[in-house]
Structure 1
Amino acid sequence: MPVKYKLLISFMVVIAAAVTFYFQSKAGEAVTPWVALGLGAFMIFSMWVFPEEQKKKK
C-alpha cells in the first residue's frame, strides 16, 4: 500500500479514536474511552509494521 494511503488511513483512525474517546468520556464511561484509544493505536501500529501479502510470481 502506498505511503500516502497509509498516512490518510492513519489520520482517519486517529480522528475516529479521538472522537470515540471524547464522547465515551462525556457519557461517564471509565474503561471504554481507553479501549478506543488502545484499539486505534494498535490498528495504526499493525498497518505500519506488518507487511501486506504479496502475490508470488511464477
Structure 2
Amino acid sequence: MKYVLNLYLLGVALTLLSIFFRLMESLERALERPLPESSWATRGQLANTEPPKGLPDHPSRGVQ
C-alpha cells in the first residue's frame, strides 16, 4: 500500500513540476516579444467622447 502511495505522490509532484515549467516557458516567451506601442494611449483615445470638429451635434435629427 505504501508503494502505491509513493507512486501517487511522485505522479502529483511530476504533474506540478510540468505545470510550473510550462508557465515559466510561456512567461519567458511573453517577455521576449516586443511590447506593442503604448496600448494604454490607444485605449485612452478610444475613450475620448468629444465629437470630431465639423460634424453636427445631433446627426440623428436629419437634415432640416
TM-score range normalised by the length of the shorter chain: 0.3 to 0.5
Greater RCO (Cα-Cα under 8 Å, separation 6 or more): 1
Q: TM-score, normalised by structure 2?
A: 0.42
